Amino acid sequence: MNNVKLTVFIVNFNTRELLGKCIGSIYRNSVKFKIEIIVIDRFSEDGSKEMIEDNFPEVAVFSLDNKKHYPEALNKYMQKGKGEYFLVSHPDILFIKNSLEEMVSFLDNHQEVGIIGANQIYPDNTFVPSSIKNPTIGTALKKSVLGFLKYFLKSVESKSGMLDRWDHTQNSCTETVWACYAIRKKVLAKTGLFDENFVYAYSNNDICYRARLAGWDIVYLSSARIIHYEIQTPENIYSKKGLEYKRFGSAMAETVEKDFFYFISKYYSKRDFEIFRIIKVFDYAVRTTVFWLLRILSGSDDNRFTIRIKRNLSTMKSIIRTRYSS
């Protein structure tokens, strides 16, 4: 008899240490229901699979034979989940005591809710903007024109659509949650699985959007607190391992924009698509100009400015080549 309440899915790629901490924190949670964990390993080369086999033999780990995109990796093994609820988590998450109990209990008691996101905090106890609005032309303009004021004007809220200046101690209906969220299996039965046309970035926006179209609520749950290890400062980006990461960062920026415009094509008009594209091109052009001026004014050939200029130019060219596909 299947009595699994929650299936946790973790897609991993070369995050052995963080993955071990994540799984350990799941088992340290005090829960009154049965949990199963499924790790989908995307061709890792750091011993992630061996670490799981040695330390967590009860965890099911499936190794992909190539680096499939995030939605494709999830879809390939999601049908193996036995739980009533599916929890999709990044491997750089630590589950604080009772966080899983809070999420499952909330879903049990609120049948109108299809997806819930956790209250994410950084290791330094500051809040992660973990509840997201879907893109609008207004927020895109704010991000582009007023983005540089975000550290000085608290009244300029949510330039990027992130809900980062509100009371995180209160539950809230929202549009999109990310990084760690629980979803009813019956929601996926109605909406279908993740859209494999996304590489990564907007796959969560898409599944939440489809759930809302199907009549489900999306909720940010303040009582379910988790720690999210995420690059928080520029200093982390320019570490001793920087060169490979910088190349990855450039490719990632283009990937995020590619996913963004696919999402826009899927749910917005061609007119909106073209407006978003103009705003984005303007945004990257301004960024490039600013870094170019800073490099000149600094009087030095600072590699950080050069890298950002090249990254922004590459991403801007990618956006210009993007076409609307309904």
In which domain, by residue range, is 308 found? Answer: 234-321
Query: Which residue among 181, 203, 228 closes a domain?
Result: 228
CA dist list (Å): 45 to 42, 64, 65, 69, 143: 9, 12, 12, 17, 38
- Comparing 55 with 241, the larger pLDDT belongs to 55
Mean pLDDT of the chain: 85
- Burial classification of residue 293, based on how many CB atoms lie within 10 Å of its CB (0-12 exposed, 13-18 middle, 19 or more buried): exposed
The share of the chain scoring above pLDDT 70, in percent, equals 84
What is residue 147's predicted lDDT score, i.e. its pLDDT? Answer: 55
Q: Are 216 and 80 in contact (CB under 8 A)?
A: no
Q: How confident is the model at residue 326 (pLDDT cuts 50, 70, 90)?
A: confident
- Comparing 284 with 165, the larger pLDDT belongs to 284
Is pLDDT of 324 > 60? yes
Is pLDDT of 229 > 80? yes
Residue with tokens 């034979």: 65
In a domain, 326, yes or no: no
Nearest to 212 by CA among 267, 257, 169, 163: 267
Output the pTM of the full model. 0.86
Query: Which residue among 194, 212, 228 closes a domain?
Result: 228
- Comparing 294 with 179, the larger pLDDT belongs to 179
What is residue 237's predicted lDDT score, i.e. its pLDDT? Answer: 36
Is pLDDT of 162 > 70? no
What is the three-state SS of 151-205? CCCCCCCCCCCECCCCCCCCCEEECEECCEEEEEHHHHHHHCCCCCCCCCCCHHH
Number of domains in the chain: 2
Query: Which residue among 228, 247, 262 closes a domain?
Result: 228
Is pLDDT of 158 > 60? no
